[in-house]
Amino acid sequence: MTPSPNPPPLDPALVRLLQVVAVAANESTSLEGALRTCLQAVCEHTGWAAGHALLVQPGGELASADVWHAADPARTREFHAALHATPANGDALAARVARAGEPAWITDLSAGHAALAEAAARAGLHAAAAFPIRVGHETAGVLEFFFGQAPAPQPGLLEVMLSVGTQVGRVIERARAEEALRSSEAKFAGIISISSDAIVSVDEDQRIIFYNRGAENTFGYTADEVMGERLEMLLPEGSRARHEGQVREFGASPVPARRMGERGQITGRRKSGEIFPADASISKLDLGGRRIYTAVLRDVTERVQAEEALARQAEELARSNAELEQFAYVASHDLQEPLRMVASYTQLLARRYGDRLDQDAHEFIGYAVDGVQRMQALISDLLAYSRVGSRGGTMERTELEAVLRRSLEALRTAIEESGAEITHDPLPPVTGDAVQLGQVLQNLVANAVKFRGDGQPRVHVGARRAGGEWVISVRDNGIGIAPEYAQRIFVIFQRLHTRAEYPGTGIGLSICKKIVERHGGRIWVESPPEGGSVFYFTLPATGEAE
């Protein structure tokens, strides 16, 4: 309705009506109460006989809100009962208003629903008006009024009634918001109560105002025992002052939530007095002018124990490894001396008494010398193996290409004798121990030449960048390795052949593995379909070496 340019003054009764309704809408604690107050106020201020409220249900249909007011209840009782018995969609006026969202009138109730019309006539009610209850653009219900005869047009009445509808709409809106809040609170409370984490809220004085079931299980106190008490009771004595300081500092900081302490720093105290390590985070919230701190805390005793056990094991392992290496080093070092003596005296025997010994004796001396040499090779390889961890050099920028060159130099005789052709890709600079990387390449190339097949040995050293690492490969066209032995050959002393077939100690690849792993890489072998073998190892590609 557009107000006319000079609206006539509002009837003071209507102004009072508006005030009453506005107060009722603001103060009502229930929708039903607000509806009742409004119906009564409208009837009293207009002199209308009766009022009835209907609400649009969640499914969209209109239904009586069972709120009714009559100026003379005795006279309208029968009509009220008839109205109650009529389905809302039979109440044509209310249904029309609900659909259109606009006020509507009927001046002749006798034309409507038969039972209703008869009861209305008996109660002396002949006309009705209905107004929408609006929540925004939505029609949430209808206020319906009955009277003896259509009231005389009254300036501003329609606007006032529309305003009444809007005020009631506000109550509905509020009721809906409260319902949504209640259900979300219920959901939230449900989550909090089943959480196995301890959730404890305190006010500014550090008094406990919330304590969930997880907290009961963690601390051993029931909620009744701690509510209103100071948080201190859940903290070990030694950490109370520090904790207070931390909370104060957090309270002053701009962040709304943070993790508390570093690992192992946060501890809690159970009712039994037991102190336990915890992971915790804290958040703050200003609620109704009060500051509330909430800590979510998890007992990590088991995890800390497991970590400690792991650390102990790792330490023990490192110590026993170091001891073993030390033992291998000392043993191999000390074994060399008596062995040299056996070798030199055996050789002396052969030289000095050679002409007095027969053929068999020379043969036996030969075996003894061979045994000594093998033992020497074993010992020196074992020594090399034990030195990888304990006597490793520093990790520094190393030109792999130069390393390969030196390794090939060391293998020159073997390469020349076998007629092997050695090729290689450009090799990258890496970060590593040049001497040890040289050992790896030398062992792999030596094996590639040693385990050759019938044709000319061809060996290719390749390099390929894969993500954050370099993959170095040594490919040969030799006798190959059955896939089932691919793992075993990296284990110390594991060989696939007799010494008569191929000489060796079975230590070379285990040294390679140890060195590569010390550099943070992996080593493995593959058997390509065209024969031969390809040994791969990776080295982390450091920023500088890229």
Provide the token pair at 248: 């104060």
Contact 147, 49 (CB under 8 A): yes
Contact 99, 124 (CB under 8 A): no
Nearer to ligand ADP by C-beta: 510 or 538? 510
504 binds ligand ADP (CB under 6 A): yes
Q: Which stretch binds ligand ADP (CB under 6 A): 111-119, 330-338, 404-412, 496-504?
A: 496-504
Residue 442 makes CB contacts below 8 A (sequence gap 6+) with: 407, 410, 411
Counting every residue, how long is the chain?
A: 546
- Near ligand ADP by CB under 6 A: residue from 112, 506, 520, 540: 506
415 binds ligand ADP (CB under 6 A): no
Nearer to ligand ADP by C-beta: 389 or 480? 480
Q: Which stretch binds ligand ADP (CB under 6 A): 105-113, 343-351, 415-423, 495-503?
A: 495-503
Q: Show the binding pattern over residues 429-468: x = contacts ligand ADP (CB under 6 A), - = does not.
A: --------------x---xx--x-----------------
User: Residue 233 burial (CB < 10 Å; 0-12/13-18/19+)?
Assistant: middle
Pairing of the two strands 104-106 and 127-135: antiparallel
Minimal distance, residue 427 CB to ligand ADP, in Å = 19
Minimal distance, residue 370 CB to ligand ADP, in Å = 16
533 binds ligand ADP (CB under 6 A): yes
C-alpha distances (whole Å) from 449 to each of 474, 502, 533 are 11, 11, 11
- Near ligand ADP by CB under 6 A: residue from 509, 515, 516, 541: 509
Contact 441, 527 (CB under 8 A): no
Expressed in angstroms, the distance from the first to the final Cα of the chain is 79
Q: Is 257 left (phi over 0), alpha (psi -120 to 50) or beta?
A: beta
478 binds ligand ADP (CB under 6 A): yes
Nearer to ligand ADP by C-beta: 45 or 450? 450
- Residue written as token pair 């058997």: 527
- Residue written as token pair 């606009």: 102
Q: How far, in Å, CA of 510 to CA of 513, rounded?
A: 5
Nearer to ligand ADP by C-beta: 168 or 507? 507
Task: Say how many residues touch ligand ADP, by CB under 6 A.
Answer: 20
Nearer to ligand ADP by C-beta: 269 or 513? 513
Nearer to ligand ADP by C-beta: 147 or 385? 385
Q: Which stretch binds ligand ADP (CB under 6 A): 53-61, 158-166, 280-288, 508-516?
A: 508-516
472 binds ligand ADP (CB under 6 A): no
170 binds ligand ADP (CB under 6 A): no
* Secondary structure (DSSP) of 161-186: HHHHHHHHHHHHHHHHHHHHHHHHHH
Taking CB atoms, the residue at the shortest distance from ligand ADP is 504
Query: Which residues are registered as beta bridge partners of 202?
Result: 208, 293
- Residue written as token pair 């055996």: 346
Q: How far, in Å, CA of 534 to CA of 525, rounded?
A: 6
- Near ligand ADP by CB under 6 A: residue from 414, 479, 486, 545: 479
Nearer to ligand ADP by C-beta: 167 or 436? 436
Provide the token pair at 364: 């036996």
Q: How far, in Å, CA of 441 to CA of 386, rounded?
A: 18
Q: Show the binding pattern over residues 236-255: x = contacts ligand ADP (CB under 6 A), - = does not.
A: --------------------
505 binds ligand ADP (CB under 6 A): yes
Minimal distance, residue 505 CB to ligand ADP, in Å = 5
The residue ranges that bind ligand ADP (CB under 6 A) are 443, 447-448, 451, 476, 478-479, 481, 489, 495-497, 504-510, 533
